[in-house]
Amino acid sequence: MKYLNETAAQFSALGDPDRLAIMVCLMDGAHCVGTLAEQFGAGMSTVSQRLKVLHIARLVHKERRGKHIYYTVADQHVRNLIDNAFEHAGE
């Protein structure tokens, strides 16, 4: 099947509760690593590693603004996927 491995990688990236929590936070808007680390009480290197996994899976975009890199949800498809997953879990 076309895109089977890429789709599996995306589900794997979202399968970690800490990475999923970051995605939920990013659904509210762009955040830098420092802000996310502070919000989750985690080290910046830990958050950076989680974001790297999400970026490799093409679930987030990153943009440099001055000295900081800001992360956002990649697109509406990713937003819909997360929203649908939570809706399904709540049934």
CATH number of 65's domain: 1.10.10.10
pLDDT at 17 over 90: yes
Taking the chain, what is the end-to-end CA distance rounded to the nearest angstrom? Answer: 29
* Predicted pLDDT at 90: 93
- Residue 19 host element (H or E): helix 17-26
Mode of pairing for the β-strands spanning 68-73 and 31-32? antiparallel
The Cβ of residue 74 has, within 10 Å, a number of other Cβ atoms equal to: 19
Which tokens in the block code for residue 12?
């794997």
- Number of independent structural domains in the chain: 1
* Predicted pLDDT at 55: 98
Convert the pLDDT of each residue in 43-77 to its tens digit: 999 999 999 999 999 999 999 999 999 999 999 99
- Residue 21 host element (H or E): helix 17-26
Averaged confidence pLDDT in the chain: 96
* Predicted pLDDT at 1: 79
Question: Are the beta carbons of 49 and 15 closer than 8 angstroms?
Answer: no
Domain with 85, as residue range(s), is 4-89
Tell me the mean pLDDT in the region 21-42: 97
